[in-house]
Amino acid sequence: MFSFSEENYLKAIFHLERKYQAGVSTNALAEEMETKASSVTDMIKKLSEKELVIYKKYQGVKLSELGKKTAIEVIRKHRLWEYFLVEKLNFNWDEVHDVAEQLEHIKSEKLTRELDEFLGFPKRDPHGDPIPDAEGNFSVANKVLLSELGKTEKGICVGVKDSSSDFLRFLDKNNISLGKKIKVLEKEAFDGSMLILIEERQLRISQLISNNLYIKTQ
Amino acid sequence: MFSFSEENYLKAIFHLERKYQAGVSTNALAEEMETKASSVTDMIKKLSEKELVIYKKYQGVKLSELGKKTAIEVIRKHRLWEYFLVEKLNFNWDEVHDVAEQLEHIKSEKLTRELDEFLGFPKRDPHGDPIPDAEGNFSVANKVLLSELGKTEKGICVGVKDSSSDFLRFLDKNNISLGKKIKVLEKEAFDGSMLILIEERQLRISQLISNNLYIKTQ
DNA sequence: AAATATATTTAGATAAGACTAAAAATAGGT
DNA sequence: ACCTATTTTTAGTCTTATCTAAATATATTT
Ligand SMILES: [Mn+2]
Ligand SMILES: [Mn+2]
Ligand SMILES: [Mn+2]
Ligand SMILES: [Mn+2]
């Protein structure tokens, strides 16, 4: 149906639309795709021809309904494969992204459907991100960044914002993983660092860390 | 490492080398790849530059050691994925080939290794073809075509030569599957058709069928 | 051995996706 | 409102993989 490159652009636009509802700028997309603005303009024109995006010169792009549907399908596959790699093939959560970037482009509805079933219709990928179902529906959890919590507030660690290997391995090393209870004991106004309680253990973390950990409070 | 297209050419050359040990001709390769001879020449030159094949103008191609190793890796992945699809994801043996054609190009040594382990190091794919191990070794079974058997000879059905959907569904419909015992009851000299005994059942099959079924005798 | 047929390679073109450099449009500051 | 900085688009080039048409080499007949 669509090329790898087209699918990757759609995915990138989908993710950037959160931040730029008015339309995703060429430069933002160029940065996300690690390419040049001129290449982005070329591709946007092509996607526009194919009615995957709505585009007016100098005004940025938005996904059309078809574009959004396609992007969600790719994201669904990406996250299902990440789940598969961790749950069935002994991958660590920091090793799955690059392989999933390849697997997400495999074209077979039956494969996606059967994989989903084989995995027991998982709701979240290894990084806490929601896995869209076959109809493209997914629940956006009411999560906040740990850095937004104040002293004495608590919740459960439910996701990571940064899913780079470096960050994930840091979390592993410090025994921070999804599902664990976290309570803010102290918050340093000066540098934004925190003293947290995680499973009976006290830990001091920098703002860079708390800015990349999602917490579900309630 | 190598492009999808390069990998597909290597695989095709590998398979054709059985038949054309002296060197695979441009035309044979063009037919196998469903492309034009001129395109084949272009690609062969590129593969030759990369030392994946040995090529002299007008003399056909052979795989180099590196080319052979690469081809076997792709075939290993293809067959492992086919096994996965049938054993874990409820695919029928006639549905797996096209998806495996995509999956065979995923680059991740860990993925291949872990998939192999997850599947229990299978030795044969759903069509009876051997699955190379991580070192590229695989056993070539001593099988013959059913059409080569004479009256009263018997053996076990161990593979298919043609693995088209049409042929495989024909076998399904007639309850012929790998592992079943087959005995030749009659052989018609005129049209090459056979009367066979398969699991207490008598069945008349044309030469086209017996020419595409592998049997292990002993 | 020459003529003819077939196989293979070369030449030139195309499409996708990327790039650099330059031009044009938009946004901000005074 | 104008000047400047930034963003975006255009123009032209490159690489990969394909194609058609034409040229050349090899194989087969006579
Ligand atoms: Mn990922
Ligand atoms: Mn993820
Ligand atoms: Mn196959
Ligand atoms: Mn097979």
CA distance B205 to B192: 9
Output the pLDDT for position B146: 98
**Option in B88, B91, B111 nearest A99 (CB):** B111
Domain at A22, CATH number: 1.10.10.10
pLDDT tens, position by position, B78-137: 999 999 999 999 999 999 999 999 999 999 999 999 999 999 999 999 999 999 999 999
Contact A68, A75 (CB under 8 A): no
Mean pLDDT of A62-79: 98
A52 and A73 together in one domain: no
Ligand 3 ion: residues within 5 Å (CB): B 97
Q: Token pair of A45, please?
A: 């024109």
Torsion of CA B168, B173, B177, B181, to 10 degrees: -130
A183 and A202 together in one domain: yes
Computed over every residue of chain A, the mean pLDDT equals: 97
Quick one: CA dihedral A13, A14, A15, A20, positive or negative? positive
Quick one: CA dihedral B157, B159, B162, B168, positive or negative? positive
A96 and A115 together in one domain: yes
CA distance B146 to B214: 6
B136 and B72 together in one domain: yes
- Cβ within 7 Å of strand D: which of B 5-44? 5-6, 35-36, 38-39, 42-43
User: Is the backbone of residue B50 left (phi > 0), alpha (psi -120 to 50) or beta?
Assistant: alpha
Mean pLDDT of B18-23: 94
Mean pLDDT of A73-94: 98
Output the pLDDT for position A129: 98
Tell me the three-class secondary structure of A108-155, residue by residue. Answer: CHHHHHHHHHHCCCCCECCCCCECCCCCCCCCCCCEEEHHHCCCCCEE
pLDDT tens, position by position, A134-183: 999 999 889 999 999 999 999 999 999 999 999 999 999 999 999 999 99
Output the pLDDT for position A218: 81
Domain at A159, CATH number: 2.30.30.90
A92 and A152 together in one domain: no
Per this entry, what is the length of chain B? Answer: 218
pLDDT tens, position by position, B144-172: 999 999 999 999 999 999 999 999 999 99
Output the pLDDT for position B1: 85
Contact B126, B82 (CB under 8 A): yes
Rounded CA–C1' distance between B58 and D21, in angstroms: 20
Q: What does the buried/exposed string (b/e) look like for B104-130 if buried means 16 or more CB atoms within 10 Å of the residue's CB?
A: bbbebeebbebbbeeeeebebbbbbbb
CA distance A40 to A30: 6
- Residue A203 pLDDT greater than 90, yes or no: yes
**Is A116's Cβ below 8 Å from some Cβ in B?**
no
- Residue B141 pLDDT greater than 90, yes or no: no
- Final residue belonging to a domain, choices A115, A140, A165: A140
Output the pLDDT for position A94: 98
- Final residue belonging to a domain, choices B114, B140, B166: B140
Tell me the three-class secondary structure of chain A, residue by residue. Answer: CCCHHHHHHHHHHHHHHHHCCCCECHHHHHHHCCCCHHHHHHHHHHHHHCCCEEECCCCCEEECHHHHHHHHHHHHHHHHHHHHHHHHCCCCCCCCHHHHHHHCCCCCHHHHHHHHHHCCCCCECCCCCECCCCCCCCCCCCEEEHHHCCCCCEEEEEEECCCCHHHHHHHHHCCCCCCCEEEEEEECCCCCCEEEEECCEEEEECHHHHCCEEEECC
Task: Give A7 Cα–ligand 1 centroid separation in angstroms.
Answer: 14
B131 and B178 together in one domain: no
- Residue B62 pLDDT greater than 90, yes or no: yes
A154 and A191 together in one domain: yes
Chain-centroid distance of CA B179 in Å reads 17
What percent of chain B stands above pLDDT 70?
Answer: 100
Mean pLDDT of A40-53: 96
Helix (H, G, I), strand (E, B) or coil at B155: strand
**Option in B89, B99, B108 nearest A106 (CB):** B99
Tokens 């959004």: give the residue: A68
Output the pLDDT for position B208: 97
Q: Token pair of B218, please?
A: 């002993």
CA distance A42 to A109: 29
Output the pLDDT for position B85: 98
- Residue B218 pLDDT greater than 90, yes or no: no
B57 and B103 together in one domain: no
Computed over every residue of chain B, the mean pLDDT equals: 97
Closest residue in chain B to residue A102, using alpha carbons only: B106
The closest of A217, A4, A25 to A107, measured between CA atoms, is: A4
- Final residue belonging to a domain, choices A18, A41, A63: A63
Name chain B contacts of A91, Cβ cutoff 8 Å: 110, 114
A181 and A135 together in one domain: no
Q: Token pair of A120, please?
A: 């027991």
Confidence of residue A68 (pLDDT cuts 50, 70, 90): very high
Confidence of residue B207 (pLDDT cuts 50, 70, 90): very high
CA distance A43 to A149: 41
Contact A6, A63 (CB under 8 A): no
Contact B158, B144 (CB under 8 A): no
The closest of A122, A13, A101 to B107, measured between CA atoms, is: A101
Domain count, chain A: 3
Name chain A contacts of B91, Cβ cutoff 8 Å: 110, 114
**Option in A99, A106, A111 nearest B89 (CB):** A111
Name chain B contacts of A114, Cβ cutoff 8 Å: 89-91
Provide the domain limits for residue A209. Answer: 144-217
A108 and A72 together in one domain: yes
Q: Token pair of B35, please?
A: 């492309």
- Residue B209 pLDDT greater than 90, yes or no: yes
